[in-house]
Amino acid sequence: MFLLPSTNFKGVMEEKRRRRQAVIASESRIVKQDGNKIPPTQATASQIVEKISAGEWTAVEVLEAFISRACAAQDVSNCLTEIMFNDARSLAKELDEEFARTNQLRGPLHGVPVSFKDLFDIRGYDSTIGYSSYANKPREEDAHLVKIIHAAGGVPFVKTNVPQTMMFFGCSNPLWGTTVSPHHSLFSAGGSSGGEAALLAMDGSALGWGSDVGGSLRIPAAYCGIYSFKPVRGRICKTGVTECLPGFDGVPDVAGPLARSVDDLELACRVTFGHVPDGSDYHHVPVPYRDVQLGKKLRFGYIVYDGFVKTSPACKRAVLQTIEALRRDGHECVEISVPQPSQAMEIMAELTSADGHETLLGPVGSDPIEKELNLELLGPKLYGWMRSSAIWLFRMIMPMETIWHKLFYASRRMSVQEYFASTVKRNEYARLFHEEVWDGHKLDGIICPVQALPQLPQGKCTNLIALPSPTVLWNIVHCPAGVLPVTRVEAEHDAITPEWSDFTVGEGHGSILLEQYLYSKNGYYDPVKMDGLPVGVQVVGRRWEDEKVIAMMKLVDNALGPRGFGPGSWKAQKGV
């Protein structure tokens, strides 16, 4: 569908926000509680279905509790876009009447309130993805994934916020505003599935759905202290989504779940894997969920430093804490390195900027451009001689910098022939990685940081646009990857030492420029301000071993033991 840019951005923005606020303001923020029972918002999706099946809760009661909590989450973090409470109430009532009549659940998600990242089309509602030009054009049909959730008894009730273009890892756009961390108002919820992660972290939804082309499921989950899973392309159908880069096929873009437990991630994948769509999803692989039995002793590789940007003390501690727990349970863990550390980010930059960002910016129209996109959009604007001169000057000023100039060169308009060459480079790097890392070390899984930073200060993506290298890697080499929370930043234990602030001291250094942004005197890594904020890790598996990754996430979660995450763990937002 071709959509013309809006000529009245301000009017569209004000009206969309006014409608949203009118609904939110009319709802209660109080979740009714029985002193002897946990409220529905503190139950996992699986537990909700069990309670409804046992006759202890109704779908209507559960939905009302989550509506109240979602409104509170919106007050705190600005995470919501489209509000679907009335339709959700009608569906919940229908489910209760059906259950009363048949004593049968409609499906494995019967009565579970489900939220969706704004790009998933839902009949009767906009999929603006932050563009005013896409506003007031309600979709006529549900996305295939939404249809599956409906059939399983799930209750879609809200859509959630994304960053403009969905191609940076903050969460702000001119239409809906900025989504902040539910834990600290001065930090970001992450992106591009940031609205989903913030909502789930505050128990505002029982199960959520997002997408991932470079970390968009995993980065927000880590920032907000929840769980997420990026399957390989094809396991979950993406028919019926509003894309930021329609037609782009250079890097696998996948749909995946966000949740408050690994069990709920598994439930989501069991419900959605293997469904046969109408053929409109060119890459869909209709393989149902396959149960796996893990061996008693697994062999994990772990990455402390990826050679691109040195991992912060807090994120390093999270990885080592995870490895210690696995070794304690008898598993073998070996440290590994990333071959050609900047290659994945170079390939990502080449492929996504090949058309000079014309497709990406097409729907922007009269909307203001978010400042966090400035550096990402700069490269393709420069003529070849200007780019070459800038790179030459930079290398003269910072001769020790070995990474930044490669990324700046990679971000450029390309010919079709050059684009083809980049896809060949992608495939060759994926083959190299599998041979050197997976086969070379004979690994079952890999534990690694989600990012060098545990949290991103609000609005600071601009100079750190390359920071998602640890998540982009797994999109480029096409591996399934999940995120789970491990610990929280501890100011006393996670302070910067000369090993981080001085490039000549210690191991694991990468880009000098990026590390200066992070670890200099006024750098973005500040363990005092970040104290108490979540820190997660990635659990990664071989291509097509999605179910094994879920099983390994369970294993890691159990090995780490209780640590204050999951339903009911959110307490308050700092920095207000």
Peptide linkage before 68 cis (omega within 30 of 0): no
| HSE-up (13 A, CA, CB side) for residue 370 | 28
Residues in the chain: 576
Helices (H), 353-403: 358-361, 374-378, 384-397
Map residue 10 onto helix, strand or coil: helix
Element spanning 569, H or E: none
**Helix pair 546-560, 313-328: axis angle to 10 deg:** 90
The response to whether 553 counts as a known ligand-binding position is no
What is the CB neighbour count within 10 angstroms for residue 75?
A: 14
State how far the Cα of 365 lies from the Cα of 174, in Å rounded to an integer.
Answer: 12
List of residues 6+ apart from 211 with CB closer than 8 A: 117, 119, 166, 192, 193, 217, 238, 241, 253, 254, 255, 256
State how far the Cα of 462 lies from the Cα of 483, in Å rounded to an integer.
Answer: 24
- The burial class, CB within 10 Å (0-12 / 13-18 / 19+), for 459 is middle
State how far the Cα of 417 lies from the Cα of 122, in Å rounded to an integer.
Answer: 38
Q: How far is CA 364 from CA 6, 40, 438, 570, in A?
A: 8, 40, 42, 36
The response to whether 261 counts as a known ligand-binding position is no
| Conformation bin of residue 274: beta by default, left when phi > 0, alpha when psi is -120 to 50 | left
β-pairing, 332-335 vs 299-302, is parallel
Q: Is the dihedral of CA 37, 39, 44, 47 positive or negative?
A: positive
The response to whether 215 counts as a known ligand-binding position is yes
Give which of 48, 65, 59, 61 is closest to 97, Cα–Cα. Answer: 59
The response to whether 440 counts as a known ligand-binding position is no
Residues labelled as active-site residues: 117, 192, 216
The response to whether 337 counts as a known ligand-binding position is no
- Angle, vertex CA 252, rays to CA 421 and CA 320, nearest 5: 105
Residue 260 contacts residue 406 (beta carbons within 8 Å):
no
Q: How far is CA 313 from CA 176, 309, 321, 390, in A?
A: 34, 12, 12, 33
The response to whether 166 counts as a known ligand-binding position is yes
For 479, the token pair is 């591996």
Residue positions forming the annotated binding site for substrate: 166, 192, 213-216
Residue positions forming the annotated binding site: 166, 192, 213-216
